[in-house]
Structure 1
């Protein structure tokens, strides 16, 4: 076990709002062992930015980790040449060029169809009725699993997210994760003859054409669904919530002082949809006055890094005009999120401008409070809104 000081949390309170505890840790114990999570947490941005790149010590290869056990070993759980070789075969499907030339138009088509059905209703939950189906329909296109229902895409993503953050070992959570991965495997099997007969730009087709082993394809599709559904879903809903609850920021947007892209980047700093990344200590090491032993579990807390007072003034405030260059919502180093370009396009270039263009008089429904939860993954759980039908 590391020599890091211990910091106790209330797991339920941490799930509801991790930021007070994270602020305390940044101030008093920036590298702290949290018994309730069985991990040593890094909470300051510069420490995380430095150590995340040191893969020889803080390794993504976690043979006994929840993600490997439940979903198979994907490229995010590999380091060095093994990671880069797999990423090279994966990346052409999600590159900036692929997003520009192929996916953005499909994102727009999905958003338009959803908004046309939503507009006459005059009210609804924008997580359930906009953010979730838009993210899921877009992800169906990108993965190539167009045979899935968008509801299953979301449910299976959530089940895997819950599974890989199930540090309490709840057997019911693990079982839901197993059912989700089995469903994804069945969907892949169903689509294999289709993309073999007619290759396309989807992840399934691109990885298959590149000769990636089937076991790796399955693991990387599951990785993509686990993070590629919840992060855009939560960012879409979260950005809308942030703007509607901060009218002064909406005014800056409307007058052209800030852009949709700035709104997205600031939201991902303020409420990090992906709040942490786990690592395994590969060898004995000392950093920041703390000695680490092999096989310890480390959490790099992106959510804490992005509210580091040393880099962001008034860090708890949503301010789309601030400089967010030091924030790390997509990680840093070799494991920087491969889907970042797709996420930015889906949220900032499509989902946000299109809903405010197509839905008039959009405002929060004050009859029901917005609920936000999570620490490993965080976002609005609901977003009740009303508008002009």
Structure 2
């Protein structure tokens, strides 16, 4: 175990709002061992930016890690040539060109259909009524699993997310994760012959065409579902909430002084949907007064890095005019999020402009509080809103 100073947290409070504890760690113990998490955590942006690239020391390969045990050995848990090979095989499905030429139009069609049904209602929980189904429908097509419902996509994603963040070893959480991965395997088995016969731009199709081993295909599809559903879902709902609670920032967008992409980038910095990335120490290493030993577990806290006072002015504020050059919401090293282009298109190009254009006089429903939680993965649990449902003249 590393000799980093110990920093105690209250797990429930950390889940509800990790930012006060992370700010104290950045100031008092920027590299600290947290007994409640069984890990040494990095909290400062520049430390993470540098060390995440040291894959010879801080390895993504974690044979005994929760993701490997529960979801299979995917490219996120591989380094070097093994990672590059699988990432390259997947890339044609999520490249900027494919997103622009194929997926963006499908994203817009899904958003329009959902909003056509939603607009006359006048009120809804936009997590359940918009963000969740839009993310799920889009991801069905990107993965190639069009044989499932968006409800299944969301449920399976959440079960895996809960499973790989289950550092306290809750058996019920683990069982739900196993049920989800079994469901995904069955869906892959159903669709593999279809996309093999009728190829398309989906992940399943391009991975099968690449000749990748089936176990790796399964693991990487599960990886795409675990992150590709909850992260856009949480970003869509979170961006809407942020703008509704910061009218001056929304006014910048209306006036043309800030783009929808700037809103997305700022939200991902302010409340990173992916708050943490784990690593395994592969060899003895000394950094900033801390000695690391092989097999130590390290957490790179992206959510803390993106609120580092040394890199961002007034970092706890939501400011769409901010320079995001130092944000590492999508990672910093070779494991930079492969789905970043698709996420930006789904959220900034489609979801945000569409929902604010269609749901007139959009506002929070004051009768129900908005709830938000999580530290490894953080997002809104609900978003009750109301709007004018009157038909246009």
TM range (shorter): over 0.9
Match of 1:373 in 2: 373
Match of 2:348 in 1: 348
CA distances 1:133-180 after superposition (whole Å, capped 9, x unpaired): 000000001000000110000000000000000000000000000000
Cα RMSD after superposing both structures: 0.4
Match of 1:18 in 2: 18
CA distances 1:189-246 after superposition (whole Å, capped 9, x unpaired): 0101110110100000000011111000000000000000000000000000000000
Structure 2 CA distance for aligned equivalents of residues 211 and 356 of structure 1: 43
Spell out the pairing of 1:1-389 with structure 2 (5 A cutoff). 1-389=1-389
Structure 2 CA distance for aligned equivalents of residues 126 and 17 of structure 1: 22
Structure 1 CA distance for aligned equivalents of residues 317 and 14 of structure 2: 19
CA distances 1:287-308 after superposition (whole Å, capped 9, x unpaired): 1110000000000000000000
Structure 2 CA distance for aligned equivalents of residues 28 and 92 of structure 1: 44
Shift of 1:361: 1.1
Shift of 1:333: 1.1
Number of residue pairs matched?
Answer: 389
Shift of 1:332: 0.9
CA distances 1:102-127 after superposition (whole Å, capped 9, x unpaired): 00000000000000000011000000
CA distances 1:288-334 after superposition (whole Å, capped 9, x unpaired): 11000000000000000000000101100000001111010000111
SS in 2 for 1:279: strand
Structure 1 CA distance for aligned equivalents of residues 59 and 112 of structure 2: 42
SS in 1 for 2:177: helix
CA distances 1:267-305 after superposition (whole Å, capped 9, x unpaired): 000000000000000000001110000000000000000
Structure 2 CA distance for aligned equivalents of residues 117 and 325 of structure 1: 38
Structure 2 CA distance for aligned equivalents of residues 162 and 333 of structure 1: 25
Structure 1 CA distance for aligned equivalents of residues 305 and 193 of structure 2: 45
Unaligned runs of 5+ in 2: none
Structure 1 CA distance for aligned equivalents of residues 132 and 289 of structure 2: 44
Unaligned runs of 5+ in 1: none
Structure 1 CA distance for aligned equivalents of residues 62 and 14 of structure 2: 25
